[in-house]
Amino acid sequence: MYYLRELRAKKCVSQQTIADYLGITNQAYSNYENGKREADYETQLKLAEYFGVPLDALFRGAATSGRTYRVPILGTVAAGLPIAAQQDIEGHTYTTLNGGAEYFALRVKGDSMDRAHIPNGCLVIVRQQERVENGEIAVVIVGEENGTVKRYKQEGDTVQLVPVSFNLDHETQVHKAGDVRVVGLVKQIQIEP
């Protein structure tokens, strides 16, 4: 999916050098380069910055072919304290993401993720999945119906939902693992004009 091997060869650096830059293991980076795992949106931004290319230059196929896929906008999710998740389809948007996975979009309310380039009012394109890696940005349900988008970190029976914000009033939320259900991984951000 990514042109990472070609970009790395042009820059004449090792996988370990890039893994160190991203703060991940060499194996995790290798999985991105070999197409075994897709990088989350924030990691994609870091990779594009590292290689000095536009975000679209990281991708093969759909992202460069111009082909788009329609995904439903399923309401609003909090980028702040969890709020009651809305499940009403309010319309549709389009994305170049595909890969056979199920995608949906949510409108972000709040500023707790603005430092991760997820501002209030934007749309996040989410790949529906029940698990994410520590450090990835996920949409989760806390309790029965409170949804939020945060950096996810689990240690044993505890889940931390970490804000990535310029607003220092936002604090890490700590929950029992059984009280948090992952809905999906944030894969793309759409900022409407």
Catalytic residue, candidates 10, 30, 36, 150: 150
* Tokens at 188, concatenated: 């793309």
112 is catalytic: yes
10 is catalytic: no
Catalytic residue, candidates 112, 153, 176, 187: 112
Cα separation of 113 and 182, whole Å? 17
Cα separation of 12 and 51, whole Å? 11
Report the helix count and the strand count for the chain, using DSSP H and E.
Answer: 5, 10
Cα separation of 89 and 106, whole Å? 10
Q: What is the separation, in whole angstroms, between the first and last Cα of the chain?
A: 29
Tell me how far CA of residue 145 lies from CA of 90, 130, 142, 175, in angstroms: 18, 16, 7, 14
Written as one letter, the residue type at 152 is Y
Q: Catalytic site residues?
A: 112, 150
